[in-house]
Amino acid sequence: MLTLLNLLKDGRFHSGQDLGAALGISRSAVWKQLQHLEAELGLSIHKVRGRGYQLAAPLTLLDSVEISATVPKWPVTVLDSVDSTNAEALRAIGQGASAPFLVLAERQVSGRGRRGRKWVSPFAENLYYSLVLRIDGGMRQLEGLSLVVGLAVMQALRNFGVPSAGLKWPNDILVANKKVAGILLELVGDPADVCHVVLGIGINANMQKADEVDQQWTSIRLESGNSVDRNALVGELSVQLNSYIERHQMKGFSTLRAEWEANHLWQDRSVSLIAGSNHIDGVVVGIDSQGALRLKVDGVEKVFSGGELSLRLRDDS
């Protein structure tokens, strides 16, 4: 099926006879594979009598060889389809894979965001990216790491034509109030000694419609007006991640704190912090040296951290 897709990815018309000859199958078998492509991958294929078959839009698929030439010496695995790149990365760790390494996919059938939310992952449109790092020396090495990843993602987006991309505590990248990227960190191993962390990143690259998304969203393509070369985006994101992670490892999160606050879109805004059924209203003061959120609540500054917290703008903000 993916061999057929590679023949069609240029966005031009191809006759059923030519496709069958290239694949060594009958025209009726080509027709069945085309139906599978539409049903399984959600692709739109134009069918015109006398001209043949054409993808509604050209596709550029992820290329592990091209990507490997641009990432910082990280082994790269590119999958056609997977439950989630984070889940695949965790399985690889369990099987003894040596970190660092990178897992990418053309689509996810069970993509995950924070707090168990579904991450919509259409085929060959966006970036589904999981980088695995080995952490020696305990949990202190992880302080503020998710916020550091956010800085790297934000910078990559700005370099790809989205200058207004900014941060929302703890793990979202927004344009205005629309989500363009999200981050999910997962830890496995002994947090007091040697462990591995999976840096899961989802970026809306070329997506232009998605009925399943239950929040405001945008994409690089919608913001910039240009189609995104996802292979180049992987390279740029990897370069930024490598740079920011090295700075974090050498000097700690405290040296990046001011940069993060300067790019926090909700700095000094009135917000509600949601923890389960509890809502805490306050004004964002900033973050502390470990990346925890600082809120002024009833005139008193308080600090909040934890993976199950969510931040929302208040109506009066």
Q: Which two tokens stand for residue 101?
A: 């390494």
Q: How far is CA 250 from the centre of its chain?
A: 25
- The residue annotated as part of the active site, out of 107, 114, 168, 230, is 114
- Nearest Cα neighbor of 126 from 99, 152, 157 is 157
Q: Which two tokens stand for residue 302?
A: 């308080």
Query: Is 86 marked as a binding-site residue?
Result: yes
What phi, psi does 152 have (nearest 5°)?
Answer: -65, -45
Query: Is 112 marked as a binding-site residue?
Result: yes
Distance CA 313, CA 316 (A): 8
Query: Is 134 marked as a binding-site residue?
Result: no
Going from the C-alpha of 89 to that of each of 79, 185, 251, the distances in angstroms are: 12, 12, 27
291: Cβ contacts below 8 Å, ≥ 6 apart: 143, 144, 145, 146, 147, 170, 253, 257, 260, 305
- The residue annotated as part of the active site, out of 107, 168, 179, 221, is 179
Query: Is 114 marked as a binding-site residue?
Result: yes
- The residue annotated as part of the active site, out of 32, 51, 118, 312, is 312
Q: Which two tokens stand for residue 104?
A: 């990418």
Query: Is 249 marked as a binding-site residue?
Result: no
Answer yes or no: 179 catalytic.
yes
Answer yes or no: 114 catalytic.
yes
As a whole number of Å, the end-to-end CA separation of the chain is 51
Query: Is 85 marked as a binding-site residue?
Result: yes
Answer yes or no: 9 catalytic.
no
- Binding-site residue numbers for biotin are 84-86, 108, 112-114, 179
Active-site residue set: 114, 179, 312
